[in-house]
Amino acid sequence: MGKERKNPINIFKNLLIKKAGILDFDGMFALIPQFASQYNYDFIEKKHTEKVGPTGNYIESNWYMERKVTYYIKFIIEVEFLVRDMNTVIVELPDGAKKKRNQGRVEVVFNARMQKNYLKNFSEKKGEFSDFLRAVYEKYLAKARLKNYEDKLEDEARDFLDDLKEKLD
């Protein structure tokens, strides 16, 4: 069997991005609402922890975004930020201006997946007739459409990742 048995379909699973050095912390966190607004995702910060340590601030923040694309498909993006040893520094930009930035270590874990049958219109229990209909629908009737939605989610996720990497550079 093909992808009709996979649910959800992972586009990015536990993609890890690491950076140590100067970063735009505020810009990095501002990406979530900007991206969500641009692509019509609902979002929530599921967890936020901040601690001050001897070497700098420790911040952990987990975000969940989802968009119901059709009656059958939902896009889900999860982003986990882990920032360690963060301190504020003043950097000089190429034009000579000085700006506050942050210095530290950041790890970002990124997940993007496409949830099919999220309204449970079809059963997902093997052996049930409704599950057979779902498999036929996904394999023969909606195969090209589902692939297009996978590609669309991948494009959106790559847009987010490109913006994120820009803030980390």
Residue type, 3: K
Peptide bond into 33 cis (omega under 30): no
Asked if pLDDT for residue 1 goes beyond 50, the answer is no
Mean pLDDT of 150-167: 94
Rounded distance, CA 9 to CA 148, Å? 13
Q: What integer pLDDT is reported at residue 2 of this predicted model?
A: 59
Mean pLDDT of 54-72: 96
Query: CA of 76: how far to CAs of 49, 84, 89, 96, 137, in Å?
Result: 23, 27, 35, 41, 22
Q: Give the model's confidence band at 150: pLDDT under 50 very low, under 70 low, under 90 confident, else very high.
A: very high
User: How much is the pLDDT for 100?
Assistant: 86
Instruction: State how far the Cα of 161 lies from the Cα of 57, in Å rounded to an integer.
Output: 24
- d(CA 169, CA 166) in angstroms, rounded, equals 5
Helix, strand, or coil (residue 106)? strand
Return the higher-pLDDT residue of 68 and 102.
68
Q: What local confidence, expressed as pLDDT, does residue 111 receive?
A: 98
Burial zone of 39 (CB within 10 Å; 0-12 exposed, 13-18 middle, 19+ buried): middle
Please give the Cα distance from 53 to 59 (Å, whole number): 11
For 66-105, b/e burial (b = at least 16 CB within 10 A) is: bbebeebbbbbbbbbbbbbebeeeeeeeeeeeeeebbbbb
- Mean per-residue pLDDT, 60-81: 97
